[in-house]
Structure 1
Amino acid sequence: MGRIRPDAVLVQAVIAGALSFAHLHDLAAAAGQDGWKAWAYPISVDLLLVAAWRRLRSGGASRLAWCWFVVALVASLGANVATAGFLDLRHPPAWLRFGIAGWPALAFLGGTLLAHTRSAAEAADPAPPADVTPAPAPVPAPVAAAAAEPADRPSEVEIAKVPAAEPRAVPPRPAPTPGPVPAALVDHARKVADEHRARTGDPIDTDTLRTRLGVPPQLADAIAAQLA
């Protein structure tokens, strides 16, 4: 728990407030307000002064707040000056009695106006009006689906009546015609065929020739035709 350090400004405010409170009490008592009524006058003056000052701080400079701030300040300052010997408090004048007696109604009017009058900032920024647009009624699911479906879309029955397209026959690709067989390849194929005949006693077939030479089937057929 931290230590409470005295603040010079706070001490000065407490002293000044106590003196002003006492002067207002003495002035009200001298004007014929005895008992608890004499103590209520300084509270009323100080509360009106604080309310007007808070309105000036929060709502900007308005003529209403300045007016009641000046009224409360004059009442507080006048009480302090009046108790300094400028008035005979044992025989107070009639205007002082009149002012003290009429102060409660004046303070009540000022407090009510300060509490229930909109500030300049509130008047310049009004609250947005509530949205009173009725919400759209919910649409049933079948109706919404029918509305979302395009009008030119064919139905399932119409789609079923459309005959299926028959597949077109694709003509077979003609076998490429082999070009002229080089003479060196023919000579090599003949040697391979002679070796096969000498080893097996049978003439070489086209598949074996293609395998031994490592050539495509069409070229193997062309070489076999020249070896026949």
Structure 2
Amino acid sequence: MRAQLARVDAVLVQAVIAAALSFAHLHDIASAAGQDGWKAWAYPISVDLLLVAAWRRLRSGDAKAAGWSWFVIALTASLGANVATAGLLDMHQAPAWLRILVAGWPAVAFLGGTLLAHSAPTAIAGSEEVEDQEEAPEPSPEPPPHPAAIETPPERPAVPVPAALVEHARKVANQHQARTGTPIDTPTLRARLGVPEPLAEAIAAQLA
């Protein structure tokens, strides 16, 4: 555990030292190019932030071409400033091209940061939504519900009817039709004979 912490501390210290040296070199180049005061300190922050934004875009996997382009631009600015402080340039008499590059850097950094922060994620999210909508399978139509089976009422068992009762019922039915002119119905036949309803229905069926 201590060995692991020691390795982490060593890496962290190395990163802090490297960042401080790079920051100072960028500040010196900006100051030599005529940017004084707080502006000279803002240049290193701008370069490092663009470098970090481009690296995050590369790590996210979105718009890698734009990420690589702005990463190379920021790395060139940082590396160029560090190399330039090695005595290759007269820091007291900066050439015109260096002054032009330093003066134009804020516009370049603003454009790169804006494109990395806003343009690519929106386009990618929109394309993913369109792909999801195109690839979404259509729901299969559900089969129509089967109609419930109609239960037929159980048939009543045949009621035995004595032949004599049938003959008597026939006479009653003939008298009723002769008197009223209409065939006798089952309720009337049942009332005239004084029999249960099933028996009356069985007699009416035989008279029909």
TM-score bracket for the superposition, by shorter chain length = 0.5 to 0.7
Q: Which residue of 1 aligns with 2:45?
A: 43
Which deviations, in whole Å up to 9, do the C-alpha atoms of 1:162-207 show, x marking residues without a partner?
9732267xxxxxxxxxxxxxxxxxxxxxxxxxxxxxxxxxxxxxxx
**What RMSD, in angstroms, separates the aligned Cα atoms of the two structures?**
3.5
* Unmatched tracts of structure 2, length 5 or more: 139-144, 161-208
Radius of gyration: which is bigger? 1
Distance in 1 between residues matched to 2:56 and 2:42, nearest whole Å: 21
Distance in 2 between residues matched to 1:115 and 1:60, nearest whole Å: 11
**TM-score normalised over the length of structure 2:** 0.59
| 8 Å Cα contact 2:62/2:120 also seen in 1 | no
Cα deviation for residue 69 of structure 1 reads 0.6
**TM-score normalised over the length of structure 1:** 0.54
Cα deviation for residue 13 of structure 1 reads 1.1
Where do 1:22-101 residues align within 5 Å? Answer: 22-59=24-61, 62-101=64-103
Give the paired residue count.
145
Extract structure 1 runs of 4+ deviating beyond 6 A: none
Q: Percentage identity across aligned positions?
A: 63
Give the counterpart of 2:112 among 106, 110, 113. Answer: 110
Distance in 1 between residues matched to 2:64 and 2:58, nearest whole Å: 7
1:71 is matched by which residue type in structure 2?
I
Distance in 2 between residues matched to 1:35 and 1:126, nearest whole Å: 47
Which deviations, in whole Å up to 9, do the C-alpha atoms of 1:8-47 show, x marking residues without a partner?
2221111111000001011111111111111110001011
Q: Does 1:166 align with 2:131?
A: no
Where do 1:8-27 residues align within 5 Å? Answer: 8-27=10-29
Cα deviation for residue 118 of structure 1 reads 2.9
Cα deviation for residue 149 of structure 1 reads 5.4
2:158 is matched by which residue type in structure 1?
E
1:74 is matched by which residue type in structure 2?
T
Helix, strand or coil: the match of 1:126? helix
Hey, which of these two has a bigger chunk of helix by percent?
2
* Unmatched tracts of structure 1, length 5 or more: 134-146, 169-228
